[in-house]
Amino acid sequence: MDDSLYDEFGNYIGPEIESDVDDEDLPEIDRVESDDEENAVAVNVDMDNQIVVAEDKKYYPTAEEVYGEEVETLVMDEDEQSLEMPIINKPVQKDIEFEVVGVKDSSTYVSTQFLLGLMSNPTLVRNVALVGHLQHGKTVFMDMLVEHTHHISTFDHEKHMRYTDTRVDEQERRISIKAVPMSLVLEDKNAVAVNVDMDNQIVVLAVDKKYYPTAEEVYGEEVETLVMDEDEQSLEMPIINKPVKDIEFEVVDVKDSSTYVSTQFLLGLMSNPTLVRNVALVGHFQHGKTVFMDMLVDQTHHISTFDREKHMRYTDTRVDEQERRISIKAVPMSLVLEDSNSKSYMCNIMDTPGHVNFSDEMTAALRLADGAVLIVDAAEGVMVNTERAIRHAIQDRLPIVVVINKVDRLITELKLPPKDAYHKLRHTIEVINSHITAVSSTAGNVQVIDPAAGNICFASGSAGWCFSLQSFAKLYVKLHGIPFDANKFASRLWGDYYYDPATRTFKKTQPPGGAERSFVQFILEPLYKLYSQVIGEHKKSVETTLAELGVTLSNAAYKLNVRPLLRLACSSVFGSATGFTDMLVHHIPSAKEAAPRKVEHIYIGPRDSGIYSAMEDCDPSGPLMVKITKLYPKSDCSGFDAFGRVYSGEIHTGQTVRVLGEGYSPDDEEDMTIKEVTKLWVYQSRYRIPVSKAPPGSWVLIEGVDASVMKTATLCNSEYDEDVYIFRPLQFNTLPVVKTATEPLNPSELPKMVEGLRKISKSYPLAITKVEESGEHTILGTGELYLDSIMKDLRELYSEVEVKVADPVVSFCETVVESSSMKCFAETPNKKNKITMIAESLERGLAEDIENGVGPNILLDDTLSSEVDKSLLNAVKDSIVQGFQWGAREGPLCDEPIRNVKFKIVDAKIAPEPLHRGTGQIIPTARRVAYSAFLMATPRFMEPVYYVEIQTPADCLSAIFTVLSQRRGHITGDVPQPGTPACVVKAFLPVIESFGFETDLRYHTQGQAFALSVFDHWAIVPGDPLDKEIVLRPLEPAPIQYLAREFMVKTRRRKGMSEDVSISKFFDEAMVVELAQQAADLHQQMI
């Protein structure tokens, strides 16, 4: 085939090929004839070989075929549409809504002619541009100008109109995208002409312009109208007051509650310090302190809605306290109580929380009190917080009286016979005395708790009765009418005394016929009989028993349920708590008697000053001295009211006082502000009694001084010639070792959260809030419940923002276990000074003894006078101490505090020129040499350890042991609770392993075990934190010997630090060279 005859697509392009078919062989096609032969073209041949002309070919049906012959149809022969008009029109442009259409009723207050007239005068034209940062209010500012110059009836004052944001997406995004102009006619202060009449072109001055109708036009000529020319509201009062937040965090007092004594009588008792008793109710968790306060409130207040079947928990003023049924805050009550002689006393009583997490509230309460009322559950006896309360009260030099509460549990729950109940009570008292003896410093000051002495009361707060042996003896005198000495009778109602009916005398030996001890015979047996009669006997027998005791109840009373009937019967038999008042009067000193011992313990100023003498005497005319220990939030949580005790002078409303903070001293007055006392109250838990002044010895709530108070403060006169010192800050018996980090869910609300954290620090005495170097905000507390309460207050009360909370962690400490392997030295940056130091661990127990005063570390000058110029060393002593304290606050391992370390200065070369030994040279050098000595003394990590007390049945001990062993805890002992089927397990548990421990414990014991944990001591974490050979694998628990390394690495990561400690950061170059030389020599010796 010849390729030249075809193209690239295979088409033939060669010469024409003649057909082999002759024309003669083709069929003949006849020519079509028509009238117009030129236009007639044959176009088709049908199947029958007939030719059809194009004009005759039928493509569509005719009009007649479609509409019928009856319908007239018109056919248009020519197109009426012009040639310029396209057959298919251009599509109509879309109606794009990208601009905000202006309101139809908007108009300017000036005419268009006036605006154009101003345009023609360039001297009256100002061309400006509004510029500024995003969201700084440029568009809203324009809204204000538009509103002043335009009449817009639909202008919404509640929302920003954003008039110059004309695009739809600008309105949706609430940001401006395009610059938009506005031409506005604005007035100046000289009231130039602002309008022109549209018809007459009359100029109207601004002063004559009519914006509003007159009073006559509104009310008519017949109505007399008065116009106020001046505003009676002061300039300081805002036109629109700040909105008041309605935060429901307090329980509102019932409206029909009132005291049985008048307010004037109560204030009169306040002015006599000898009739005032200031005490704090302390004790273990759920031992009945708040319910005991309910009994006192019920006896001193008329509350018609008081529910005798339920505990009102009057001093639990917070909503979450009522929901959780625990006390979180210490709350005061000032009650007028009568003794057995019907003499009234002013008793200021502070109800404190019993949970060990809130022991800081107990510390604050004891600082204001002159005595401690120890509440002990008769069934449970002395528990962990009971021991801590005893220790705390003795350390504060306060006398202790005891109320053995819930005595009825021995009857109704444990069902002990009266004889066994006596031994149970006696054992509890002996344990209390043994703890007091163990804590007391000297044998001469040991206080003895003895019912015969009158410093013990027996009570049941839920049943509404309380008595001492003396008040019970007086009850016998009243019932039997026999004139015998009640006090002598009471002295024989406790101990091994037996009543001999034959001789009608008391003996210390049991009579021949046999008899019970006097306490059992004369107190417990009648009490058991009363309970058994009311609970289980018929109405007639109860009536007979109560009639013998001189009590008659109404028929309606006998229809009550058992609990309210029992409460009514017992309160009718035993009367008011006069035995409790007698105990306070005789064994707690009055405010005046307790002042010398109290002032000696808490005032740090000299004893030979006039202020000290005035406080000892409770002198109302002396200089004002007030100790602030608590801050209570206002109803809207916008601020705080300060609660304190007046020691001398009188504080008045409107008085100007100096507020001295914890860092104040006569030499450094920086922590001092001057405030005005705006209001004073007697704080009554759920209500307040306003007063104009508060005398010495009284408790008072103060408004107006809280701004500069962080934890505690001292108030004094604004002007006083003598130097004023502060009261000693609170010393707590525990540490905040649990911490968590928090941040706002919305980053723009960070200022609100920071302000809330500041209020948290004020509200919780032991809470610490701080900012780490990484920028995270951390909160430190005593335990999980403590932090949970803080976070609830932060979210709902003080910041009102949603916050995110990190997993809880613990505070660590850094320590050493050996002496420094070499003498470490560091030179100042100018090479003119050199300090040499070594580090070693402190003697056991010494750090705990000195911690509250100066800190858990020691800096010792161990230089020799023959080698070191002591005068030069003393010249830089303060700088070296500051560097040491700086280093002790932030250790080299992970910026955690150093603990239990003794630093010794063994050599020092100090430049003689003061210019070369400035603080900027010495302080960082002292810190660096302390770090190097620390790192050369085998550093270790320390973790906090909880003391755990668990109440549990004996059959759950194995489960408790399993749970503790899984968390690196260990049991130190388990002892049975006398008279009960339960036992008490005592254990130690690392705090970092305690998160979720209580839940885990309840799960494994089916809810039968209850645990309380409190910080006890610091322990060294197993392992070497600087061992770089340890490999930590993610999502795998580290072995015990790797824990120190794991804790250090994770702590450094959390703080934004590198994983390993940089030696070059803390060692001088010469020190590194010497260290390398020692390592080489050691290696050579080993070879």
Q: What is the pLDDT of residues 157-175, one digit of tens each?
A: 677 888 898 888 888 888 9
Beta strands 276-283; 344-351: pairing state: parallel
The answer to whether residue 64 is domain-embedded is no
Residues forming a β-bridge with 107: 151
The answer to whether residue 555 is domain-embedded is no
How many Å apart are CA 783 and CA 524, to the nearest integer? 41
pLDDT at 27: 47
How many Å apart are CA 1087 and CA 882, to the nearest integer? 45
Q: Are residues 844 and 774 in the same domain?
A: no
Highest mean pLDDT among 721-730, 786-795, 1054-1063: 786-795
Contact 695/646 with Cβ under 8 angstroms?
A: yes
Residue 444 has pLDDT above 70, yes or no: no
The answer to whether residue 37 is domain-embedded is no
Q: Are residues 675 and 773 in the same domain?
A: no
Amino acid in the structure at residue 350 = M
The answer to whether residue 113 is domain-embedded is yes
Q: Are residues 775 and 688 in the same domain?
A: no
How many Å apart are CA 987 and CA 968, to the nearest integer? 11
pLDDT at 241: 63
- Token pair, residue 222, equals 């017949």
Q: Are residues 770 and 829 in the same domain?
A: no
Residues forming a β-bridge with 658: 674, 716
128: pLDDT confidence band, cut at 50, 70 and 90?
Answer: very high
- Give the residue with greater pLDDT, 243 vs 503: 503
| Residue 458 DSSP SS3 | strand
How many Å apart are CA 121 and CA 35, to the nearest integer? 87
Q: Are residues 962 and 1052 in the same domain?
A: yes
Q: What is the mean pLDDT of the segment spanning 567-595?
A: 93
Region of poorest pLDDT, from 103-107, 195-199, 1049-1053 = 195-199
pLDDT digits (tens, 9 = 90+) for 68-82: 788 777 777 676 777
Cα 150 from chain centroid?
50
Total tally of structural domains belonging to the chain: 6
The answer to whether residue 461 is domain-embedded is yes
Residue 340 CB neighbour total at 10 angstroms: 18
Q: What is the DSSP letter of 795?
A: I
B/e letters for 914-936, b = 16+ CB within 10 Å, e = fewer, are: eeebbeebbbbbbbbbbbbbbbb
| Residue 113 DSSP SS3 | helix
Q: Are residues 692 and 786 in the same domain?
A: no
| Percent over 90 (pLDDT), the chain | 58
pLDDT digits (tens, 9 = 90+) for 363-376: 999 999 999 999 99
Look at the block and give the residue holding tokens 């390993």: 1060
- Please give the residue range of the domain that contains residue 841: 814-937
Q: Which residues are CB-neighbours of 4 under 8 A, at least 6 positions away?
A: 14
Q: Are residues 342 and 426 in the same domain?
A: yes
pTM: 0.76
CATH code of 441's domain? 3.40.50.300
Q: Alpha carbon of 910 to those of 873, 876, 907, 960: distances in Å?
A: 7, 8, 10, 60
Q: Are residues 644 and 759 in the same domain?
A: no
Q: Are residues 372 and 282 in the same domain?
A: yes
How many Å apart are CA 449 and CA 466, to the nearest integer? 17
pLDDT digits (tens, 9 = 90+) for 297-343: 989 988 766 666 678 899 999 999 999 999 999 999 999 999 999 99
How many Å apart are CA 177 and CA 602, to the nearest integer? 65
Q: Are residues 767 and 884 in the same domain?
A: no
